[in-house]
Amino acid sequence: MKVLLSKPGLDGHDVGVKVLAHGLIDAGFEVVYTGLRKTIEEIVDAAIKNKVDIIGMSILSGTHLVLAKKMNEVMQQKKLNIPWFVGGNIPAKDIEKLKQLGAHNAFPTGSKIADVVNYFNTIKVNV
């Protein structure tokens, strides 16, 4: 099970995404990290190139809806079906909006690493 963790947009806060990377590795996942300031196209290309099973995007600047909309467009254009997630400063009321935009789920700041791991494991069963 391979996960791509990414930082779309201009936000440079990467403590959370790196903490999650460590947590996923300890839980037996393979992790590829894009680094900062990637466009959605670059993230999707990295997902294809690395043949990942899951894409995670970390966004803390409040731009999550703009970026999720773009993600949805690019995924549809490329006819891809990789489950993707958003993590970071996400208001509870936006989780449903993100799902409508095609996100599998969203994990706001304060989510437990174990919860993310468990959720990703249920996807593993489904895949």
- The binding site for other proteins (CB under 8 A) comprises 9-15, 17-19, 21-23, 31, 33-37, 39, 61-63, 66-67, 89-93, 108-110, 112-114
For residues 62 and 83, which CB has a smaller minimum distance to other proteins in the complex? 62
For residues 107 and 126, which CB has a smaller minimum distance to other proteins in the complex? 107
Separation CA 91–CA 107 (nearest Å): 10
Find the angle CA(70)-CA(33)-CA(37) to the nearest 5 degrees. Answer: 50
Which tokens belong to 71? 């993600």
For residues 14 and 81, which CB has a smaller minimum distance to other proteins in the complex? 14
Amino acid letter at 33?
Y
Report the nearest approach of other proteins to the CB of residue 43 (Å).
13
Close Cβ partners of 46 (under 8 Å, ≥ 6 residues apart): 4, 6, 32, 34, 38
Report the nearest approach of other proteins to the CB of residue 120 (Å).
16
